[in-house]
Amino acid sequence: MTYNFDPDTWLNTNRAALAARRDRGEFSDAEFEVELEDLDRRYDEMVARLDGTYEIPSGRPGGNGTPA
């Protein structure tokens, strides 16, 4: 299975979008914090559902394509 999705990029993109909305005055700093908390919760839930194959292990024998 191949993933064409990077959850960390998703999080960073959504954080930037929230910051831009706050900067435009669409919501207050307090509302921004609530939105960030919700975004972080959704990110954590999403990552928990992924099977981890999108991650490239490092520092382990065989973890970077080398034989174990």
The pLDDT tens digits for 32-66 are 999 999 999 999 998 888 776 656 666 655 555 55
Q: What is the pLDDT of residue 67?
A: 53
Global confidence as pTM = 0.68
For residue 50, report the phi and psi dihedrals to the nearest 5 degrees: -75, 150
Asked if the structure places residue 54 within a domain, the reply is no
Asked if the structure places residue 34 within a domain, the reply is yes
Asked if the structure places residue 36 within a domain, the reply is yes
* pLDDT reading at 18 higher than 60: yes
Asked if the structure places residue 68 within a domain, the reply is no
Asked if the structure places residue 14 within a domain, the reply is yes
Asked if the structure places residue 44 within a domain, the reply is yes
Distances (CA, A) of 9 to 24, 43, 58, 67: 23, 11, 20, 30
Q: Which residue has the higher pLDDT, 4 or 18?
A: 18
Q: Which residues form the domain of 45?
A: 7-49
Total tally of structural domains belonging to the chain: 1
Percent helix / strand / coil, the chain, rounded to 5: 55, 0, 45
